Structure 1
Amino acid sequence: MFDVLVYLYEHYWRPDAFPEADLLTRKLSAVGFEAEEISEALTWLEGLTQAASTEPIQPQSSSVRIYSSVELEHMGPEALGFLQFLESAGVLSASQREMILDRMLAISGAPVSLEDLKVIVLMVFWSMGEEPDALILDELFAEEGERVLH
């Protein structure tokens, strides 16, 4: 499913630029994606569209997000650390965080890998028509082994 999401991110400048679902399914199938992963990705994107259209959360500046045990189990420590990094860097709003959590919980299997979480974060920004700054894009795309420590 994540390969389909990355493909869509790379080939469509925003979600509303997709063709209709049947045509998109045929195009993705012609590229070589399996029917099951196409279906999963399109269902997941439908949920993302619904989450993006809901009223954004406006917490007070002094509020603290407490994660449920289900969220923590599904996220795992690496993903939780990365999500907290994005929040503390001021890159992620509360409503974006909640969209990410919603879409993360929509994925079967736990914990979600850090690489999968990065795709989810990228897709949330993309669905909102926002592009993270260059340093955050580097965090989202760079593999751990590719980093050069100074």
Structure 2
Amino acid sequence: MYQSILVPTDGSELSLRAADAAIALAKALGARLVAWSSAEVYSLPFAEQVYVDQTLYVEEAMKEAATNAQAVATRAADAGVACQAFSGMSDSIWEGIINAASEHGCDLIFMASHGRRGMAALLLGSETQKVLTHSKLPVLVYR
């Protein structure tokens, strides 16, 4: 059935629960996992008083993304499931997810129903919904 499953993560509790479910599925199918996390692109702050050095921001965001992906890989290894961890930076998270699935030869995307809550989710839209709309691969949504 499925041999390579992409598990995007933002480090949230729900995405880690989705990762655990993906690990169980991969174990049952004998599939491998690809854990992937995206750093958000630096955007200029709205308030003039707030300034964040772009280089520092990118370094910290990439470090956090790598940590998020590695957390999934560690959980998979503990369960005896092969998993590679990758991270990157994308202007659009949903496109990054779809591109990562393609680049790493995945045949299923297994993701949480949502990550952010509240106003951030409203303003940014649902990355999961965008993946569902644009992906040519099957997408399994964990709630």
Is TM-score (shorter-chain normalized) higher than 0.5? no
- Give 1 or 2: higher helix fraction: 1
Higher relative CO (CA 8 A, sep ≥ 6), structure 1 or 2?
2
Structure (1/2) with the larger strand percentage: 2
Normalized against structure 1, the TM-score is what?
A: 0.29
